[in-house]
Amino acid sequence: MTFRATILTLYPEMFPGPLGASLSGKALEAGTWEHDVRNIREHGQGAHRAVDDTPAGGGPGMVLRADVLAAAIDAAAPADDPRPRLMMSPRGRPLTQARVRALSAGEGALIVCGRFEGVDERVIAARGLEEVSIGDYVLSGGELAAMVLLDACVRLLPGVMGHEHSGTEESFEAGLLEYPHYTRPQLFEGEPIPEVLMSGHHGKIAEWRRAQAERITRERRPDLVDDATKTASKQNEE
């Protein structure tokens, strides 16, 4: 099954951009995923194909018009299209590896890239857009955010990563950040590779990696540890 991304943007020339290189680029060539990039401006109004207007109630900047964006969405995806409709937005629910996994197991997504101050609120409800944020900072447009989301999804598609197992032990997959990696040379600027990793003892290595992952997560992301504890105690109650 091909993962289909339909992207609505005012800057179609930005795609595939970095997604055309490396793993995602090869997967695009191989047909593992495809992207259909639509210019919202094709549905703009009048001779100048206007897509934005001043905010009702005043204030700075411009707002993407509801009628224009609705027409662009309707032309890009029929009402019975089973794919989720996402809108990149700093107000959205923060993107997680769990959401990325769920998306990559599906048929793809329709992704709206915002610009200006944002989009008219009414089209979000009228077209069932799920707002997704890639972090607590503000970008100038949704295109880079859409690329971040797509890159995370595409690398999980079957056959994209070299190793079957790649990905299952990574950061966030078990609610933990990943353990540290080492490779040759055995001695780097006086620092050796931890001895346990050279021991060939698989049980001890797994145990060491787990302990390191827990330590790093506690130090850097106590919020993840809290979430994992909460989930575990909830499961125990059930």
C-beta of 108 vs 120, nearer to ligand SAH: 120
Q: Which region, judged by CB under 6 A, interacts with ligand SAH, from 13-21, 127-135, 160-168, 212-220?
A: 127-135
The rounded distance, in Å, linking the Cα atoms of 162 and 75 is: 37
Q: Which region, judged by CB under 6 A, interacts with ligand SAH, from 135-143, 163-171, 186-194, 224-232?
A: 135-143
Q: How far is the CB of 129 from ligand SAH (least distance, A)?
A: 11
Among 49, 91, 122, 218, binds ligand SAH (CB under 6 A): 91
C-beta of 141 vs 167, nearer to ligand SAH: 141
3-state secondary structure (DSSP) of residue 75: helix
Binding status of residue 141 toward ligand SAH by CB under 6 A: yes
Burial of 177 (0-12, 13-18, 19+ CB in 10 A): buried
CA separation, residue 71 to residues 65, 135, 215, 231 (Å): 10, 29, 51, 42
Binding status of residue 17 toward ligand SAH by CB under 6 A: no
Nearest to 225 by CA among 208, 236, 213, 207: 213
Q: Give me the sign of the Cα torsion angle 20, 24, 28, 33.
A: negative
Q: Which region, judged by CB under 6 A, interacts with ligand SAH, from 89-97, 152-160, 186-194, 210-218?
A: 89-97
Among 17, 20, 128, 135, binds ligand SAH (CB under 6 A): 135
C-beta of 88 vs 213, nearer to ligand SAH: 88
Residue 5 has φ and ψ, to the nearest 5°, of -105, 120
**94, containing H or E segment:** strand 85-94
Question: Within 144-173, which residues bind ligand SAH (CB under 6 A)?
Answer: 145
Binding status of residue 65 toward ligand SAH by CB under 6 A: no
| Helix axis angle, 143-154 to 97-104, nearest 10° | 70
Binding status of residue 85 toward ligand SAH by CB under 6 A: no
Residue 156 has φ and ψ, to the nearest 5°, of -90, -10
**Residue numbers of the site for ligand SAH (CB under 6 A)?**
88-91, 113-115, 117-118, 133-135, 137-139, 141-142, 145
